[in-house]
Structure formats: structure tokens, C-alpha cells
Amino acid sequence: MSDQTNTLPQRNRVQEEYRWRLEDIYSSDEAWEKDFQSVPERVQKIKALQGQLSKKSSILLQALQLQDDLGQLMESLFTYARMRRDEDNSNTTYQALTDRVTALGSEVNSTTSFLLPEILAIPDGTLQNFLQKEEGLELYRFALDDLRRQKPHVLSEKEEALLAQTGEVTGAASKIFTMLNNADLTFPVVKDSQGKEIQITHGRYGQLMESRDRDLRRHTFQALYKTYRGLENTISATLSTAVKRAVVMSRIRKYPSALESALFGDKVPLTVYDNLIKTVRQHLPTFYRYVEYRKKQLQVEELHMYDLYTPIVEGIDWQIPYEEAVTMVQEGLKPLGNDYGRILEEAFQNRWIDVYENRGKTSGAYSWGPYGTHPYVLLNYQDKLSDVFTLAHEMGHALHSYYSYQKQPYVYAHYSIFVAEVASTVNESLLIHYLLKKEKDKTKKRYLLNHYLEQFRGTVYRQTMFAEFEKLIHNKVESGEALTPENLKGSYKQLNQDYYGPNMIIDEEIDVEWARIPHFYNNFYVYKYATGFAAATALTKQILEEGDSAVQRYLEFLAGGSSQYPLDLLKIAGVNMESTEPIKESLQLFEQLLKELESLT
């Protein structure tokens, strides 16, 4: 499976042991259909309570319980359909199932949209009386308090119903980009130094950019971005539409800005976002030093953007089969204790993971899965060290979900994205510490240090640059400026110049990199990678230095779901992200690792 070939295998040619077992969600499409058909009746049970929520505490409790039951069902329906589609985006059966459940979700949201405004219309005194009188409502106290916090941003019942009906339409930009990027877009064939033709794919791009063959890297880089440049007008239109949606929705809901709207749900102060950008910019000189070091080690007169991913340590062709990667991850995560290790083993043995790339499969990697079922992981494994870290990363997400699902009721089972990247990055940090500690070979140790520094570059510096780009383009729309290919490219080029510094050639092709970043369709998401990395760096240090006490705090954090606000959950684990200290500490670690790498050269 790991060999590069000109064409990818069809889905049914991938060995079963390397395919996830979605039958754990639904045993068949027919079972899915049966649940799908039951939704309207469930919706009507909720609808029948409209206008009565303030009358009796028992009615309010019934409405909340029915909402949870329906939410859990819709989650199972949607994740099954979407994950089946992700196996092969050209499969029309699962395109149809995804479309049907998406449309049904819009109908459900529209029909049940009365719940939020009606709950918020309950007088404070009445609600407090309900909470004291109805024992079952105590479970929902935090959720109800959070709803009350949202009161200034909730519309009337009729307005909420109208807005809910637009859900499928307003989310179209993301869907269009996904289909264009994963199903319709094809990349050219390039030749390596032996003249072998290689078809560029999303999954292979990273592998090709790590090649020691500089001409292959350059040709791959140019070919990929030429493809996106040919669609820059279309993709700038989809991105512009996504940004306008965020801006319009923030105004409709009376937020000062789209950014503050995005931060509100997590109760994250604006200063957290701004301090991240400010603190990273203050530490850019250290990053410039790393860029200069890379240039010297590669012995090139000019360092180009296509030189960023190739290892600077020569003589290493570290091919790591999937089974070996599994062992490395299990060993690296032993500091998290026996219970964590037991769940990992279950995941690896019971087909929670979809391992290899196949034709039409969604690119990249993720962890997902509905409440009531174990989480899943999608990979596109290519036998590289980076793939081992991706495995550790996604298993961090998966076990975060597992602990939350096990310990929390449905209403609090889904953790905020703000904390999502903490668990994944703790796993990566523990893995790199394990590998560095056990590695005696100087060359491999330098290779690992380079890899870890690259993790910093990609997760802290690059994602912060993305976050600044997002803030910039949303500000442009909020001030009435159009997002054209020209100003998108101009803004993106300037940020690359600022972040990479004087020792990097900012190739023309990189101006259009924004056109291939799916995260920009989930506005103000990427900053959480950087804050998550900073929090994870602090937690990893505590776990390794303190042992069991830190592990227990960390597992309590993993089991917290959304039962508290993200910043409060992180304080339980032992990190205060309202301070700039975790960010500074992670950037100081970057400098320490760079010094260690320089000393081994």
C-alpha cells in the first residue's frame, strides 16, 4: 500500500484491516434509513411543546431531553453518511445520503428553532424556581446559564426560524470548495530524477515536498500552485462568500465583529487572539535564525518555499511502516498511564482507523465519531515520520472524545475546538520526547530535532500567520472592501515576507496558497492550533516532571467535555491561557531546541 504508483487504488482494493469499521455506527445503509425515517416523528414531539416551556418545569425538562435524543440521532445519521462519502467522494450513493441528511438537518433546525428564544424568554425568577423544583434540570444548569449569556445575540422566534432555513444555503461555500478540492480537482504528473512519472495528489504532496530531489520539489510545488492559480477567481469567490457569511451573521446577531462572534461561544477574550499574534511576532527573529540555519544546512544560494519541508539532515530515508508507527505511538504515550494505553490498543485492534489513501478519499486526516459510538480516525498514511506524528495527533483527538463520551452526558460530551488541539499536541510532544530520549544515533537525533522544529513552524508560526490573514480579510470585508484574487494574493505575500524574513525567497506561487487551505472556511479556527500547542507544551512538561498527579489532572481535563468553559478546563489541567506565558514558554522551547540542533551540527 505504501508504494507510490501512478494511480491510486479503488476503495474496494484496500485491505479490510486498514479500513475503518463504520458498521459500528450503522450495520447497514438500511439501518441508517430506518433511523432517518424516524426523525420527523421525533421533531413533532418537540414541536408539540412550543409555547409551553415556561408553564411547567417538567415540560422544560422534557423539551431538553427530547432535544438531546434528537441531537444524538442526527449526529449518528450525519457522521455515518459523511464518513462513508469521505471514503470515496465520487460515490454518488453517499453523496446523496450526505445531501439528504444535511437538508434534513436544516429542516430540524428550522422546526426546533423556537427552543432557544422560548427558553430565553422564561423570566429569570421562573427559571431559578424550575431549577430548584425539578431535580432533572440540575444537569442542564450550566447549559442554561450559557444560554442566558447568549441572550443579547439571539433573535426573535420568527427570525430564528427564518435564519435556520438558510443553513444549507449559507454553508454552500464550504461545500463547494470541498467538492472542488477533493472530488473535481486533479493535479499534473511530475517526473523524479530517474524519469519516473508521479501523479500529484493531496496525500502525496507532502511526501514529494520532503524529497531530497530539489528539482522534483520545485516542479511539484509549481505544478500544484499552477493548478490552484488557474482557479483563483473561482476559489476567491468561494472564500469571499464564506467570509461575507461570517460577517453578515455576526452583524445579524449584534456582535461587534466576526472575530468576537467566533470567540464568544468559548468565552475567550479578544486579547487571547491578539496576544497570540503579538507574542509570536515578537519572537520572529528566532524563527528567522532557524530559516537561516536551514538555508546553510541545505547549502543553497537561495532558500525557496519548496525547500521548507525537506529534512535538512542528509542520509536519512526513514521509511516507517504503519505497524511500526503503531508501536512507536504506544511506547511514546506510556507516560499517560495504563488506562490510556488500554484504549489505544482497543482502537488499533478494532478498526477505528482508516489508514491508506485511495481514489476519491478525502485528503488529510481527522478524528470524528458520534456520541454513543467510539471515535474514528481518517488517515492517508505514507510511511513517513510525519505520518507517525499525524497518527499520534489524531489519536489524541480520538481519546479526548472517548473520555468525554464516557464521562459526560450528551449535552456536555462534545469539547470545544479551542481545547481540541491540546490533546492531539500533547501526544505529539510526548512522542518526540520519547524518540529523542531513546535515539543514540547523532544523525537521527538531528533529524528528529529538525522534525520537532518543523512542528513548531507549522503549528505555531504558520498557523498564527493564517490567523492574522483571517483577521485581515474579515476586517477588509467589514470595512466594505472586496476580496479579489489580487488583494488576497497581495496580503498573503506580505504576511509571508513578514513571518519568514530576509533569508527566504517568497516565490510567486505561494501568493495563492490561501486557495488550498480548507480551514479558512471555518472562520477563526486556526489560531486554536497555536494556542493548543502552547498549552500542550506546558502540560507535557508537567506530565513528564510530575508524573501521576499531572496525568490525573490531564485525564480529568480530557473527561470534561464542555461541562465548563475551555479556559476553565485548561486551568483544571494546570494551564492559564489568558496569560501570554504559555506562548512565550513554547517559543523559548523552540529556541532551546534550535540551539541543541546547532550544537550537534
Cell of 146: 450559557
Residue whose C-alpha is closest to residue 504's, from 313, 315, 356, 291: 291
Cell of 308: 521548507
Q: Which helix (H) or strand (E) holds 368?
A: strand 366-368
Residue whose C-alpha is closest to residue 287's, from 442, 535, 501, 448: 501
> Strand, helix or coil at 317?
coil
In contact, 554 and 336? CB cutoff 8 Å:
yes
Phi first, then psi, for residue 89 (nearest 5°) are -65, -15
Radius of gyration of the chain (CA): 24
Q: Which helix (H) or strand (E) holds 32?
A: helix 29-47
Separation in Å, CA 479 to CA 163, 244, 466: 24, 11, 20
User: How many alpha carbons lie under 13 Å from residue 335 in its C-beta half-sphere?
Assistant: 23
Exposed/middle/buried for residue 2 (C-beta within 10 Å: 0-12, 13-18, 19+): middle
Residues 6+ apart with CB under 8 A from 86: 361, 362, 378
Catalytic residue among 75, 232, 394, 470: 394
Q: Which helix (H) or strand (E) holds 191?
A: strand 189-191
Is 394 considered catalytic here? yes
DSSP character for 196?
-
Catalytic residue numbers, as ranges: 394
